């Protein structure tokens, strides 16, 4: 028939078939990964996305915690620091300040990582995190790194606010302890926050972990007292709390004294223990994230 379309010639299909097969083009064959090794661009993009998310509301995420921590310092200094009271050979204000700084760091690391996946599940945008060409390790690394970044910024803001407050002296005796315990505490809470974000199905679940787990462990970790003043049973409970080692080790970096144990050897053991704990927690969270539990169901 005159109106019948002419059949496509084999020659016209040959280039298309070669393109699909990856022949004569820059595209790899089907099934062959394009990105090998670490997806640095994707990891950096995820990290910057998470950082920009909390920087857009810096009044709430950075300066708000600094003001709240300063209020804690003022209240407890006025209530318990009168009469030249000293703890671990330092004025009470100098004793409390390092604990408040690292407590603010840990709480904000948890707040940042616990929001990442949960907000995506609630808003229906979780696919934006799961579909990009990022491995589960890269996804976890980007979220944890952003949470630790927020913790460091908050720690700097809180430290600046406390340093300018009259009657408080922030002199660093051991830089390594300040850096290590600050990072390990922030990473520990970031991992707990990511696990919470995976488990939670609504914001009430997230708030429950914050109110009934993170807040009690933070406040009952020796921030405002030394555990030597407690009964033996309560001392044992405090030593089972990893928050205690973060706060006491961080305080050791400023004062050169801690209630972890006698000498610097106990502090070093606590530092190694926190590192091992974070490594174990990272492995568990990675396995849970990779399983797709409550993310792909």
**Does some domain include residue 47?**
yes
pLDDT at 170: 87
Task: Decide if pLDDT at 16 tops 50.
Answer: no
Please compute the mean of the pLDDT values over residues 10-33 and round it to a whole number. 55
- pLDDT classification of 31: cutoffs 50, 70, 90: low
Least confident of 1-5, 161-165, 171-175, 256-260: 1-5
pLDDT tens, residue by residue, 146-189: 999 999 999 999 999 888 888 788 899 999 999 999 999 999 99
> Residue 15 falls within a domain, yes or no?
no
Give tens-digit pLDDT for 125-141. 888 888 888 999 999 99
| Structure token digits, residue 144 | 């944890």
- Tell me if 26 is assigned to some domain: no
State how far the Cα of 235 lies from the Cα of 233, in Å rounded to an integer.
5
With residue 269 as reference, give the H or E element that holds it: helix 263-291
Choose the weakest-confidence range: 9-13, 42-46, 109-113, 175-179: 9-13
CA distance 289 to 132: 15
Q: Is 277 part of any domain?
A: yes
Does residue 297 lie within any of the structural domains?
no
Q: What is the C-alpha separation between 159 and 153, in angstroms, rounded?
A: 10
Helical H segments across the chain, by residue range: 10-21, 40-55, 58, 64-80, 92-123, 127-130, 136-163, 175-199, 203-209, 215-219, 232-239, 242-255, 263-291
Tokens 């390594």 found at: 176
Return d(Cα 260, Cα 270) in angstroms, integer.
Answer: 8
**Range in 36-40, 69-73, 76-80, 289-293 with the lowest mean pLDDT:** 76-80
pLDDT for 12 equals 47
What is the tally of structural domains in the chain? 1
Closest CA to 106 of 181, 176, 169: 181
Confirm whether 3 is domain-assigned. Answer: no
Q: What percent of the chain has pLDDT over 90?
A: 54
CB 182 within 8 A of CB 59: no
Nearest to 73 by CA among 156, 167, 155: 167
pLDDT at 4 over 60: no
Q: What is the pLDDT of residue 83?
A: 60
Residue 2 lies in a domain: no
- Residue from 155, 130, 144 nearest 69 by CA: 155
Which pLDDT value is given to residue 220? 87
More confident residue, 87 or 83: 87
Chain segment 201-255, per-residue pLDDT in tens: 999 999 999 999 999 998 888 888 888 878 888 888 889 999 999 999 999 999 9
Q: Which two tokens stand for residue 243?
A: 């928050």
Are the CB atoms for 190 and 148 separated by under 8 Å? yes
Give the pLDDT of residue 190.
97
pLDDT for residue 25 is more than 60: no
* Burial grade of 186 (CB within 10 A; 0-12, 13-18, 19 or more): buried
The confidence score (pLDDT) of residue 234 equals 85
For the cut 70, the answer to whether the pLDDT of residue 294 exceeds it is: yes
Residue 11: what pLDDT?
A: 47
How many whole angstroms separate alpha carbon 196 and alpha carbon 209?
A: 7
Domain annotation covers residue 27? no
pTM of the model: 0.86
Closest CA to 185 of 117, 241, 264, 224: 241
Report the alpha-carbon distance of residue 114 to residue 106 in Å, rounded: 12
Q: Which domain holds residue 79?
A: 33-291
> What is the per-residue burial (b if ≥16 Cβ within 10 Å, else e) of 109-121?
bbbbbbbbbbbbb
pLDDT band at 42 (very low <50, low <70, confident <90, very high): very high
């Amino acid at each position: 028939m005159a109106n019948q379309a002419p059949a496509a010639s084999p020659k016209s299909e040959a280039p298309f078939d070669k393109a699909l097969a990856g022949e004569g083009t820059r595209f790899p064959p089907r099934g062959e990964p394009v990105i090998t090794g670490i997806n640095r661009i994707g990891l950096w993009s995820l990290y910057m996305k998470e950082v920009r998310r909390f920087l857009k509301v810096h009044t709430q995420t950075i300066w708000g915690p600094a003001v709240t921590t300063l209020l804690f310092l003022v209240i407890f200094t006025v209530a318990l620091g009168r009469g030249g009271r000293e703890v671990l050979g330092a004025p009470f204000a100098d004793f409390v300040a390092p604990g408040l700084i690292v407590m603010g760091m840990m709480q904000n690391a948890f707040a940042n990582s616990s929001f990442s996946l949960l907000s995506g599940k609630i808003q229906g945008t979780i696919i934006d995190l799961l579909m990009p060409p990022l491995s589960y390790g890269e996804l976890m690394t980007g979220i944890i790194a952003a949470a630790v970044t927020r913790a460091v910024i908050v720690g700097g803001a809180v430290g600046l606010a406390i340093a300018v407050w009259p009657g408080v002296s922030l002199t660093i005796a051991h830089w390594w302890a300040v850096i290590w315990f600050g990072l390990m505490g922030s990473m520990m809470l970031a991992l707990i926050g990511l696990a919470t974000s995976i488990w939670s199905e609504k914001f009430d679940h997230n708030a429950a972990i914050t109110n009934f787990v993170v807040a009690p462990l933070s406040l009952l970790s020796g921030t405002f007292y030394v555990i030597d003043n407690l009964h033996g049973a309560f001392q044992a409970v405090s030593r089972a709390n990893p928050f205690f080692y973060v706060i006491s080790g961080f305080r050791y970096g400023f004062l050169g004294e801690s209630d972890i144990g006698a000498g610097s050897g106990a502090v070093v053991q606590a530092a190694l223990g926190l590192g091992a704990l974070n490594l174990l927690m990272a492995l568990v969270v990675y396995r849970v994230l990779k399983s797709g539990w409550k993310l792909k169901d």
